[in-house]
Each structure stands twice: as structure tokens, then as C-alpha cells.
Chain A
Amino acid sequence: MSSANNSKGVPYILKLVIGLVLMFGGMYLSVQKPEFMSFQESLEKSGIPLDLGKTVAIIGVFLILTPLLDLFFFKPLQESITNRTTELEGTFTEAENLRSEMTRMKTEYEDRLARTEAEAREQIQSQIKEAQDLKKQLMADAQAKADQLRKEAEVEIANQKKQALTELRVHVATLSLQATEKILQANVDTDRNRKLIDDFLTTVEAKN
């Protein structure tokens, strides 16, 4: 800011020249004490110690010194302070941006987490349902197989029973005939006797 103002104002070289002229002019006035400065003596007698030569020289020194100090220190200091402020503002802005980014990422992560959890839950439910269906199907299959085996066993049992009864009947008939033959010691028509025994046995079965 100050550089801009300096550039608009009196150039430094001109200030330097004017300053040097004033310095040497002031020195001349102070050392030589020309006639027109004699009023200073009367002022000094009145208790006012004034040396306008020094005053003029000081103005010259100040004209040289101010821009010099500005260029040498004040401007670099101002630039450093401005840069620091800019950097701090930049850092704060960056931190703010990072914070916003972090918040956004956190929200995104939470959303993703919630979505993943929901998906996992859904998958688990689906697997459970599938397992339950499979269990039901397996149980139904096992039940059907068991029923079929039982039916087959029943049929087998019935067949076996029937066969056993038939064999038993034949055996009993044979035994009865042999017994009867031995008891009667007679030659009896075997076919006719067998028919009688069969009838007897049928009668017995019917009773049973």
C-alpha cells in the first residue's frame, strides 16, 4: 500500500536532493549565522534558544530518512505481516475445506456402512429363509420316503404272511394226511382227503 502511495508522491531521488540541500543549507545557516538570522540572538536573550539552521537541517534529514526506513524495513515488515495473514487465512480456509471434506466422507462412510449392514441383514434373512425352505423340503422328502418304505414293508409283510400261511396250510395238510394215514391204516383217496382237509382248514380260517 505504501509503495503505491510513494509511487504517486514525490520521487525518492527528489526527496534525497531536497534533503541534502536542506541539510547543507541548515549547516550553513547554523555555522555561518548570516545577518538576516540575527533575530535568533535576541530570541535567545529572551530565553528562546532557537537555531533555525538546525531546524532546516533536521527537515532535510527527515526527508531522506523516512523513505529510506520505509524501503529498508517498514515495507518488508508490512509485506511479511500481509503474507503471514494471507497464509493464515489460507491455512484456515484449507482446514475448513478439510473439515468439510472429512464431514462429507464421514457421512458417506456412515451411509455405506448402513447400506452394507442392510444388505448383510437382507442376505442373512434370505439365507435363513432358504435354509428353512430346504429343511421343509428335506423333511417332506424324508417323510415321503419313510411312508413309501413303510408301505413297501407292509406289502412285503402281507406277502410273507400270505406265503407263510400257504406253506403252513400245505404243511399242516400234509401232516394231517400222514397222521390220518397212520391212524386209519387204510388206503384212502388222497385227493379226496386233501379236499376234505382244505375245506376243514378254510372253515377254521373263517372262524379265526
Chain B
Amino acid sequence: MGDLLHLGTTLLAEGGAEHGAAHHGANFVGLMVYLVAIIGVVVYLLADAKKGLNNRYFTRWTTQRLEQLYLFVENMAVGIIGAHGRKYIPMVMTLWLLIFFGNLTALFFATSPTADLSFNLGLALIAVFYVQWEGMRANGVGGHFKHFAGPKLSGALMILTPMIFIIELVSEMMKNLSLSLRLYGNIDGGHKAAEAMNELGKSAYVPFGAFLMPLKLMTCVVQALIFTLLFCVYLSLVTHADHGDAHGEAHAH
């Protein structure tokens, strides 16, 4: 019980970090508490939705909404990656649910998992390394790294090949940063903006930050969408050649 109280006070303390100091989000235990809560909500919703599954039409509200989300993600995956994109749906759906509910937490609590750079970096590392893994599975290890060297050049232009290779490698590594920083910046930035606006109305007891709620809600959806969309695009870039989908040709390096 004492530990729980300590945890609660720690969370509150983290949420009300002093201005000017870097926002570190919750500590490890706090992050795990948030994460367990989010996973609990997700599993609860999925379990509720599972009750409504049948072979005709779904009448349960949660089943209908999750089916819509599933079909949306499926359309996105198949539209971007191609027909073989269906096999990535569990991965994309899990990312979508974790990020979306993580973002939603940011609307009601002092901090949230997606307002933590470490959490986002974890998701980005999973996404980028999964893309490399799938690239190697699709093209072979040599074929995948050959991809980084760009088009086959001849003569004096061959000197560009190693440069392109290095640039592509750095670019791949930077995807981790871009994915994690974008999410972190948007969600943590939303917190900062709400705090600043609340500070403005403090003397009049008006929570101006609450007016940002619709915008923050939109950010929750958009950021989850962007993260998963980019994940699909990265997968499409490394797997399209193997499957020869006409759609993927447009995304060549």
C-alpha cells in the first residue's frame, strides 16, 4: 500500500515538473503503470468486442468500431504495401492501439507514455528494425544492403556508391529519431501548450488549456495514423521488389 502511495506521489510529482526543466515523463514504474492501464483498457475493449464476433454481422458497438478500425488499417496496409501487406496488420494494429490510447491518456493525465521520448524511441526502434528484418527476409541480407547503395553506377560515378550507401544508412537510423521525436514533440508539445495557456488564465481561474482539447484529440488520431502510415511506407519500400506489386513501384528509392 505504501509503495502504491509512493508511486502515486511520484507520478504526480513527475506530472507537475518545474517549468524550464526537461520533461522526463513518468519514471520506469510510472510508465509501466500507465502502460499496464493502457493495455488493460485495450484488452478489455478487445475482449468486449470479441463477444460480438460472429459469421454474420456485428451488432455490438465495440465490435463494430474495432472492425472499422481493422478494415481501415487493412486498407492502409494493402493500399501502401500491396496484397502481402495483410500479414503486417497485427503489428500495425498493435502500434495503432498503443499509440492512440497512449495519446488519449495525455488528454486526461499529467503525462502519458507517448509524451515520453524513451517510450516513443522504443516503438520507433521496433518499427525500423522490423522493417530491416522484413527487408532481409524479402531480398536476402546482401540484396537488402545492396538496396542502400542506390542505382548501379558506372565509370567515375561509381565513387558516389559508397557515399549513397552511407547516406542511406544514416537515413535509416534517422527514421528512428524522426518517428520518435515527431510523436514526442506533438504529445509533449500539447502538454506544454495546455500548461502555458492554463498559466495565462490562472489569475481569472479560467482553464484556457481546455480549449486545446479538440486539437489535442485530433492530434491523438493523426499521430497514431502518421506513425503507422510511415511504418507501412517503410515496409513497402523494402518489400515491394520481392512481390512485384505494381503499386509498390512508385515508392522505389
Q: Which residues of A pack against B, CB within 8 Å?
A: 1-2, 5, 26-27, 30-31, 44, 47-59, 61-63, 65-67, 69-70, 72-78, 80-81, 83-84, 87
Report yes or no: B122 in contact with A77, Cβ–Cβ below 8 A: no
A47, B181: Cα distance in complex, Å: 13
B53: contacting residue among A56, A61, A70, A80, CB under 8 A = A80
- 8 tightest Cβ-Cβ pairs between the two chains A and B: A58-B122, A70-B90, A54-B118, A30-B28, A83-B55, A73-B46, A55-B122, A49-B24
25 contacting pairs across A/B (C-beta < 8 A)? A2-B86, A26-B28, A31-B28, A44-B22, A49-B25, A49-B117, A52-B121, A54-B119, A54-B122, A55-B118, A57-B122, A58-B119, A58-B122, A62-B98, A63-B126, A69-B43, A70-B90, A72-B46, A73-B47, A73-B49, A74-B89, A76-B53, A77-B53, A77-B66, A80-B54
User: B200: which A residues are within 8 A, CB to CB?
Assistant: none
Report yes or no: A62 in contact with B126, Cβ–Cβ below 8 A: yes
Report yes or no: B90 in contact with A55, Cβ–Cβ below 8 A: no
Which of A5, A52, A54 neighbours the largest number of chain B CB atoms within 10 Å of its CB?
A54
User: A66: which B residues are within 8 A, CB to CB?
Assistant: 90-91, 94
User: A53: which B residues are within 8 A, CB to CB?
Assistant: 28, 118
B125 at interface (Cβ–Cβ under 8 A)?
yes
Query: How many interface residues does B have (CB within 8 Å)?
Result: 44
Report yes or no: B90 in contact with A59, Cβ–Cβ below 8 A: no
A-contacting residues, B42-93, CB 8 Å: 42-43, 46-47, 49-50, 53-58, 66-67, 70-71, 86-87, 89-91, 93
User: A57: which B residues are within 8 A, CB to CB?
Assistant: 28, 32, 122
Report yes or no: B122 in contact with A56, Cβ–Cβ below 8 A: yes
Shortest Cβ gap from A180 to chain B (Å)? 135
Residue of A nearest to B58 (CB): A80
Digitize B18-51: 1 where CB-to-A-CB distance is under 8 Å, 0 elsewhere: 0000111101100110010001001100110110
Report yes or no: A62 in contact with B53, Cβ–Cβ below 8 A: no
B22: contacting residue among A27, A47, A67, CB under 8 A = A47
User: B46: which A residues are within 8 A, CB to CB?
Assistant: 69, 72-73
Residue of B nearest to A62 (CB): B126
- Add 17 more A-B contacts to A69-B42, A69-B97, A77-B53 (CB < 8 A): A26-B28, A30-B27, A49-B22, A49-B25, A50-B121, A54-B31, A54-B122, A58-B119, A58-B122, A58-B126, A59-B122, A62-B122, A65-B94, A67-B90, A69-B43, A69-B90, A73-B49
B123 at interface (Cβ–Cβ under 8 A)?
yes
A26, B42: Cα distance in complex, Å: 23
Report yes or no: B118 in contact with A84, Cβ–Cβ below 8 A: no
User: B55: which A residues are within 8 A, CB to CB?
Assistant: 80, 83-84, 87
B118: contacting residue among A58, A61, A73, CB under 8 A = A58
Residue of A nearest to B30 (CB): A54
Residue of A nearest to B184 (CB): A49
User: A76: which B residues are within 8 A, CB to CB?
Assistant: 50, 53
Report yes or no: B35 in contact with A61, Cβ–Cβ below 8 A: yes
User: B47: which A residues are within 8 A, CB to CB?
Assistant: 72-73
User: B22: which A residues are within 8 A, CB to CB?
Assistant: 44, 47-49
A53, B118: Cα distance in complex, Å: 8
User: B91: which A residues are within 8 A, CB to CB?
Assistant: 66
A54, B66: Cα distance in complex, Å: 29
Residue of B nearest to A69 (CB): B94
User: B67: which A residues are within 8 A, CB to CB?
Assistant: 77, 81
- Known A27-B28, A51-B28, A67-B90; judge A58-B123 contact (CB<8 A): yes
Shortest Cβ gap from A38 to chain B (Å)? 16
Shortest Cβ gap from A58 to chain B (Å)? 3
Shortest Cβ gap from A171 to chain B (Å)? 121
User: A56: which B residues are within 8 A, CB to CB?
Assistant: 122
Shortest Cβ gap from A75 to chain B (Å)? 8
Residue of B nearest to A73 (CB): B46
User: A49: which B residues are within 8 A, CB to CB?
Assistant: 22-25, 116-118
Which of A31, A69, A78 neighbours the largest number of chain B CB atoms within 10 Å of its CB?
A69
Which of B42, B87, B122 neighbours the largest number of chain A CB atoms within 10 Å of its CB?
B122
A71, B126: Cα distance in complex, Å: 20
Report yes or no: B28 in contact with A74, Cβ–Cβ below 8 A: no
User: A48: which B residues are within 8 A, CB to CB?
Assistant: 22, 117
